[in-house]
Chains A and B, each alone.
Chain A
Amino acid sequence: MSDVEDEPQEGRRLSRRELLKKAGVGAAAAGAAGATAPFSFAGPMKFKGRWLKGDLSIIQWVHFVPAYDDWFDKTWVTQWGQKNDVQVNVEHINNTLLDTRAAAEVAAGSGHDLFWNLHPMAAYEDQVINHASIIKEIERKVGPYGPLAKASTYNPKTKKYFAVCDNYVPDPVVWRHDIWNGIDEAPFTWDHVRKAAPKLKAAGHPIGIGQSQELDSNMALIAFMMCFGSFVQSDLNRPTLNSKNTIQAVNFMADIYKTGEDAEIFAWNPASNNNYLYSGTASMIFNAISATRTPEAQNLPFSKDLWIWPIPHGPHGRLGLEHVMGCYNIWKFSKNKENAQQFVVDLCVNYKQATMASQLYNFPSFPGAFPYKQIRKVAAADKNKPSGKYTILTTIAEKYTYNIGYPGTTNAAMDEVFSKYLIPQMFAQVSQGKMSAADSVKSINSQVKDIYAKWKARGKI
Chain B
Amino acid sequence: MKSGWRYNAFSYGIAIPFAIVLAFPFFWMAVTSFKPEAQVYDRTKVWSFHPTLANYGFLFHQTDYLRWIRNSCFVGGMVVLITLVVALPAGYALARLSGRVGRTMGVAIFLTYLVPPTLLFLPLSRVIAQYLHLSDRLWALVVVYPSFTIPFAIWLLMGFFKTIPQELEDAALVDGCSRLGSLVRIVFPISIPGILTVVIFTFSLVLNEFVYAITFISSSTNRTLTVGVPTDLIRGDLFNWPGIMAAILIPSIPLALVYNAFLNRFIAGFTGGAFR
Is any CB of A less than 8 Å from a CB of B in the complex? yes
Q: Are A33 and B130 within 8 A (Cβ)?
A: no
Which of A62, A278, A294 has most chain B Cβ within 10 Å?
A: A62
* Contact residues of B between 207 and 226, Cβ < 8 Å to A: 214-216, 218-222
Q: Are A62 and B236 within 8 A (Cβ)?
A: yes
Q: Are B215 and A274 within 8 A (Cβ)?
A: no
**Is residue B231 within 8 Å, beta carbon to beta carbon, of the partner chain?**
yes
User: Which residues of chain A have C-beta atoms less than 8 A from B129's C-beta?
Assistant: 108-111
A118 to nearest B CB, angstroms?
9
Q: How far is the CA of A275 from the CA of B234 in the complex (A)?
A: 13
Among the 9-residue stretches B48-56, B135-143, B175-183, the one with 4 or more Cβ atoms under 8 Å from chain A is: B135-143
* Contact residues of B between 232 and 271, Cβ < 8 Å to A: 232, 234-239
Binary interface encoding of chain B residues 123-135 relative to chain A, with 1 for a CB under 8 A from any of its CBs, else 0? 1011011100111
Q: Are A91 and B137 within 8 A (Cβ)?
A: no
Q: Are A97 and B135 within 8 A (Cβ)?
A: no
Known: A33-B134, A61-B236, A107-B123. A298 touches B38 (CB 8 A): yes
**Is residue A54 within 8 Å, beta carbon to beta carbon, of the partner chain?**
no
Q: Are B74 and A110 within 8 A (Cβ)?
A: no
Output the nearest chain A residue to B122 by Cβ-Cβ distance. Answer: A107
- Picked from A39, A94, A101, A105, the residue with its CB within 8 Å of the CB of B236 is A94
- Picked from B137, B138, B220, B238, the residue with its CB within 8 Å of the CB of A274 is B238
**Is residue A64 within 8 Å, beta carbon to beta carbon, of the partner chain?**
yes
Known: A41-B138, A109-B130. A89 touches B219 (CB 8 A): yes
Known: A97-B231, A275-B41. A103 touches B122 (CB 8 A): yes
Q: Are A35 and B139 within 8 A (Cβ)?
A: yes
* Contact residues of A between 420 and 447, Cβ < 8 Å to B: none
Q: Are B133 and A94 within 8 A (Cβ)?
A: no
**Is residue B230 within 8 Å, beta carbon to beta carbon, of the partner chain?**
yes
**Is residue B67 within 8 Å, beta carbon to beta carbon, of the partner chain?**
yes
User: Which residues of chain A have C-beta atoms less than 8 A from B128's C-beta?
Assistant: 108
Q: Are B130 and A108 within 8 A (Cβ)?
A: yes
Known: A91-B220, A110-B129. A64 touches B122 (CB 8 A): no
**Is residue A95 within 8 Å, beta carbon to beta carbon, of the partner chain?**
yes
Known: A111-B129, A298-B38. A270 touches B236 (CB 8 A): yes
B234 to nearest A CB, angstroms?
6
User: Which residues of chain A have C-beta atoms less than 8 A from B235's C-beta?
Assistant: 62-64, 66
Chain B interface secondary structure, helix, strand, loop or mixed?
Answer: helix
A277 to nearest B CB, angstroms?
10
- Picked from A92, A100, A270, the residue with its CB within 8 Å of the CB of B220 is A92
User: Which residues of chain A have C-beta atoms less than 8 A from B41's C-beta?
Assistant: 275, 278-279
Output the nearest chain A residue to B140 by Cβ-Cβ distance. Answer: A33
User: Which residues of chain B have C-beta atoms less than 8 A from A39's C-beta?
Assistant: 74
Known: A35-B138, A108-B125, A278-B41. A94 touches B234 (CB 8 A): yes
Known: A91-B218, A97-B214. A110 touches B238 (CB 8 A): no
* Contact residues of A between 60 and 114, Cβ < 8 Å to B: 61-64, 66, 89, 91-95, 97, 100-101, 103-105, 107-112
Compute the total of residue contacts between A and B using a CB distance below 8 Å. 104
**Is residue A59 within 8 Å, beta carbon to beta carbon, of the partner chain?**
yes
Known: A42-B137, A89-B219, A294-B237. A107 touches B231 (CB 8 A): no
**Which of under 10, 10 to 19, 20 to 34, or 35 or more describes the interface residues of A?**
35 or more
* Contact residues of A between 275 and 303, Cβ < 8 Å to B: 275, 278-279, 290-291, 294, 298
Q: How far is the CA of A43 from the CA of B139 in the complex (A)?
A: 12
A215 to nearest B CB, angstroms?
9
Q: How far is the CA of A100 from the CA of B123 in the complex (A)?
A: 13
Which of A93, A278, A291 has most chain B Cβ within 10 Å?
A: A93
**Is residue B63 within 8 Å, beta carbon to beta carbon, of the partner chain?**
no
User: Which residues of chain A have C-beta atoms less than 8 A from B222's C-beta?
Assistant: 41, 43
Q: How far is the CA of A314 from the CA of B129 in the complex (A)?
A: 51
Q: Are A43 and B219 within 8 A (Cβ)?
A: yes
Q: How far is the CA of A316 from the CA of B218 in the complex (A)?
A: 45
Q: How far is the CA of A95 from the CA of B237 in the complex (A)?
A: 10
Q: Are A32 and B236 within 8 A (Cβ)?
A: no
A226 to nearest B CB, angstroms?
24
User: Which residues of chain B have C-beta atoms less than 8 A from A95's C-beta?
Assistant: 236
Binary interface encoding of chain A residues 23-46 relative to chain B, with 1 for a CB under 8 A from any of its CBs, else 0? 000000100111100011111100
User: Which residues of chain B have C-beta atoms less than 8 A from A61's C-beta?
Assistant: 236
**Is residue A14 within 8 Å, beta carbon to beta carbon, of the partner chain?**
no
Output the nearest chain B residue to A276 by Cβ-Cβ distance. Answer: B41
Q: How far is the CA of A89 from the CA of B218 in the complex (A)?
A: 10
A326 to nearest B CB, angstroms?
13
Q: Are A62 and B126 within 8 A (Cβ)?
A: no
Q: How far is the CA of A134 from the CA of B176 in the complex (A)?
A: 78
Q: How far is the CA of A53 from the CA of B196 in the complex (A)?
A: 50
B61 to nearest A CB, angstroms?
16
User: Which residues of chain B have C-beta atoms less than 8 A from A91's C-beta?
Assistant: 218-220
Sample of 12 more A-B contacts, CB < 8 Å, known A41-B139, A92-B231: A32-B133, A35-B139, A41-B138, A62-B236, A91-B218, A94-B231, A108-B126, A108-B129, A110-B135, A270-B236, A275-B41, A298-B38
- In the A-B complex, list the 8 residue pairs whose CB atoms are closest, starting with the nearest: A108-B129, A108-B125, A107-B122, A110-B129, A104-B215, A279-B41, A104-B125, A64-B236
Which A positions have Cβ atoms within 8 angstroms of B?
29, 32-35, 39-44, 59, 61-64, 66, 89, 91-95, 97, 100-101, 103-105, 107-112, 270-271, 274-275, 278-279, 290-291, 294, 298
Q: Please name 8 pairs of A and B residues whose Cβ atoms are closer than 8 Å in the assembled complex, sorted by A.
A: A41-B137, A41-B222, A43-B219, A64-B236, A64-B237, A91-B220, A107-B122, A290-B236
